[in-house]
Structure 1
Amino acid sequence: MAVNVMLADDHSLVREGLKSLLELEGDIKVIAEAVDGADCLSKLETVSPDVLLLDINMPVMNGLDVLKKLKDNRSNVKVLVLTVHNEIEYLMKAVDIGIDGYVLKDSESSELKKAIFTIAEGETYIQPSLIPQLNSKRIEKDKDGAKIDNLTRRELEVLKLLAVGKYNKEIAEELDISERTVKNHVSNIFKKIDVTDRTQAAVFAIRNNLIEIF
């Protein structure tokens, strides 16, 4: 029995190429296509693919937001992210949300089909070339988690405000504390998360999803 697949990508040529490639041997059938994230969610209300091939960069709603919506709504559809993004941060975010698979668009067709069949059978598939980076990033994240746990509630508040670009005076006013107290908190934060300046502290906060970047 063929695996039913839905394609979500804003480039029509990509969708056409994928459809032709996947249906070539008859073991995969493309039953629906979506041109953006919102269109994808809308069509999933009326179709039930075994696997959703999801691009990250799409208008209206990006792939990671679509994935989060599906997981929040307890959708049963298996999601395979097919993307040009080889930056490990995207993969980490997808894994944290609950991805079923992640493959780069420059992979071989045999690898893409293997990922689809693996996911359809209920297993997870991450492109093998990305796994060493993923494991390294997980170790780094575990270390960051320990550093975050070591921050006091107030230090965490100060770090978040610092990370969005607020100066000590602005932080003091928002938290109703003195600038001297803020300065002491910043110094303690730097020591606890092992950074030397505000930029590094902001990067730490962004990397660990302590603040949202729009």
Structure 2
Amino acid sequence: MAQIGTAERAGESGASPRRIPPRVETLLIVDDHPLMCDALALTLKMAFGLKRTRSARSLAGAVEQIRSEGAPGAVILDLNLPDSGGAQGIVTLRRLLPDVPITMISAEMDAEKIGAALDAGAQGFVSKSLARDALIDAFERIWAGEIVVPEDYDPRARPASDGREELMRRCATLTPQQMRILRLICLGKANKEISYELGIAEATVKTHVTAIMAKLDARRRTQAVLLANTARLFETP
């Protein structure tokens, strides 16, 4: 697992673009801060000669865009979005994009959150506070196939896993709609309330809840909530 360290100067005026795999010619940035999206898009497009950058302000927006416009070559995902937090975004997008490198980016460098993102299938975890050259260097390595984390990340600082890796694999089998329903269950919503909020029949909610319980190997809703909390799926800032 590579650590983010001092980077070479790259992407400067007149310099040749960094080399990246051909599949990473389009980039999707999922962040609810427009300035952050614009800055990342401009920096990485110049550094790597990307053909296209796209952006979404929420997880739901990213899912809709992927379905309508096709899979990007790579994804950068903010840790905390208006409709998701923690590892939920990685789990949801990994189901849609099994072979696309997804990098989580955040100002928070908590060891547990980094570990949860990696367990969910993130290719790397990058700090928003990185200097430009270090940021470019990190993405060059991530898109070349390395798993990159902050240089001070210590996996030993994480609590015992308690089977979290297997749990994350089970969570990854949930569909985006099932993830939305599980999130509402974690907020204490009853089936009738979930039906109203999502605009679907209550019978459909019950069918999804049954599937969620089976996929998570949970017997009760309270157990499903406990498992979601253990996986840190729905953390908020």
TM-score range, shorter chain: 0.5 to 0.7
Work out which of the residue numbers 41, 44, 65 in structure 2 matches 1:43: 65
2:33 maps to 11
User: What is the aligned-residue RMSD (CA, Å)?
Assistant: 3.1
TM-score, normalising length: structure 1: 0.59
Q: Extract unaligned runs of 5+ from structure 1.
A: 146-204
Identity of aligned residues (%): 22
* Aligned counterparts of 1:33 and 1:8: Cα–Cα separation in 2: 6
Question: Which structure is higher in RCO with an 8 Å CA cutoff and minimum separation 6?
Answer: 2
> Superposition pairs for residues 99-138 of structure 1, below 5 Å?
99-130=122-153, 132=154, 134-137=155-158
1:24 maps to 46
Work out which of the residue numbers 48, 51, 67 in structure 1 matches 2:90: 67
* Aligned counterparts of 2:84 and 2:231: Cα–Cα separation in 1: 22
Q: What code does the residue aligned with 2:57 have?
A: V
* Aligned counterparts of 1:83 and 1:213: Cα–Cα separation in 2: 15
Q: What code does the residue aligned with 1:136 have?
A: A
Q: CA deviation at 1:23?
A: 2.3
* Aligned counterparts of 2:55 and 2:91: Cα–Cα separation in 1: 19
Q: Secondary structure at the match of 2:81?
A: coil
TM-score, normalising length: structure 2: 0.54
1:57 maps to 80
Residues 23, 136 of structure 1: CA spacing in aligned structure 2 closer, same or farther, 3 A cutoff? same
Please identify which structure carries the higher helix content: 1
> Would the aligned equivalents of 1:22 and 1:29 in 2 still touch at CA under 8 Å?
no
> Superposition pairs for residues 43-192 of structure 1, below 5 Å?
43-45=65-67, 46-62=69-85, 64-73=87-96, 75-130=98-153, 132=154, 134-137=155-158, 140-141=159-160
* Aligned counterparts of 1:107 and 1:119: Cα–Cα separation in 2: 15
